[in-house]
Amino acid sequence: MAIVAGLLAVAMVCMASRRRSLYRCRGCVSIRHESLWQLRVWGVPPLPLSRVRDEVRLSHVARNLMPRSHRHDWVMGGRSVHHVLGLVLGLSASGRDVRNEFTWEYERNAEFRAYVQARIDAGDLAVDDLAEVVLLPTMDQEPDNQSPAARLRDRLLDAYFESTADPIHGHGGVH
C-alpha cells in the first residue's frame, strides 16, 4: 500500500507544472505575475494544485505620476507553463504591450525620470497633465499627434533628447 501511495506521489510530482501569466496595466504599465501550480494529464483539463499567487511590481509611472484614485486595468501580456523540473512546456506571447512612447522611456531611463521630476519640481510641468500623457495610445495603436497630451509628450521627449545631446558633436554645438 505504501509503495502504491509512493508511486502515486512520484507520478503526481512528475505531472506538476507551474503556469505563469504576465499582465500589464493599461494605465500605469505596472506588471502583475500570476502563478499557479497545476497537475497536467494529457486529455484532461489541468487540475489546480495551489491557490493563484499574485505578485504586483509597481511601475515608476504608478509610483510617481498616477493619482491615488487609479485602478489597475490588467491586460494579458503572455503566458508560460514550466514543468516542475524547469522544462518549458508552453509559451504564448499573444498578449499586447500597453506601453506608449512616454511610458516606455520613463520606465527604462532613470535620467529621463529625473528630468521629468526636475521640471515638475520647477513648476514647469503638472502631474495631472502627465497622467493624460501616460494614457495616450500604445505604440501598436493608431497614433495621436494632435491632442494637447500628445503635443506635451512630443515637446517633453524632444526637449529631453536635446538636453542630452553631445555638446561637441550634437546639435547646437560650438562651431
Q: Which residues bind Zn ion (CB under 5 A)?
A: 25, 27-28, 30, 72
Query: Which DSSP symbol is given to 49?
Result: -
Q: How far apart are CA 23 and CA 37, in angstroms?
A: 18
The least distance separating Zn ion from the CB of residue 149, rounded to whole angstroms, comes to: 17
Q: Which is nearer to Zn ion, 37 or 104 (CB)?
A: 104
Q: Which of 40, 41, 31 is nearest to 78 (CA)?
A: 31
Q: Choose between 69 and 146: whose C-beta lies nearer to Zn ion.
A: 69
Shortest Cβ 147–Zn ion spacing (Å): 21
Note the helical H segments in 100-147.
101-108, 110-121, 127-134
| Closer of 74 and 115 to Zn ion (Cβ) | 74
CB of residue 133 to Zn ion, shortest distance in Å:
15
Distance in angstroms (rounded) separating the CA atoms of residues 21 and 104: 21
Tell me how far, at minimum, the Cβ of 24 lies from Zn ion, in Å.
9
**Closer Cβ to Zn ion, 29 or 152, answer by number:** 29
